[in-house]
Amino acid sequence: MAQAYIFLADGFEEIEGLTVVDLFRRVDIAISMVSINKTNMVTGAHQIEIKADRIFEEVDYNDGDILILPGGMPGTNHLMEHEGLDRLLKDFNSKGKLLAAICAAPSVLGQKNILSGKKATCYPGFEEKLIGAQVVKDGVVEDGNVITSKGMGTAIDFSLALIKRLKGEDVAKKLAASIQYNYY
């Protein structure tokens, strides 16, 4: 079974984070919400408080198949500044493991030189932080081990693209049909 980790910081975009968690759990992909705070409690950009499953320092990520970064402000800035997450993202990338980011969060990957030579997308206005990437305007962009997406309005497409990579197109299409979502 695939193991996913999604990283939450104060100021994360709730829909971008929780849509991934909800849809992954509907198709039995193990996903842990990991707080980069010193506590399990994380407050989203719109003042919705979430209790994360784990705290960053308490997790052994060796079983991980994918790391996911939701956007939102100032959550994206907190993700960018976290030293442990920095090392983890670079380690996963060096091993060719999946990395995914949505909205402003692809800028984290760009500023860590993970997008160099890859196609990527992000929330409008963050393009200059996709250092080394070929910026495209598609809602979801896959290039090698990296999947990026534009923002809250693309959260379901983003989640389904991740599910497709982890469990196959049939699973993604079946889930889309079950939630009455037109996914092609």
Q: How far apart are CA 101 and CA 147, in angstroms?
A: 7
Is 103 one of the catalytic residues?
yes
- Give the total residue count for the chain: 184
Tokens describing residue 159: 């989640």
Classify residue 4 as exposed, middle or buried by CB count within 10 Å of its CB (0-12, 13-18, 19+). buried
Which residue of the set 103, 130, 146, 161 is catalytic? 103
CA–CA gap between residue 67 and residue 74 (Å, rounded)? 19
Helix/strand/coil for 79: helix
Closest CA to 123 of 165, 80, 153: 153
Q: Which residues are known to be catalytic?
A: 103
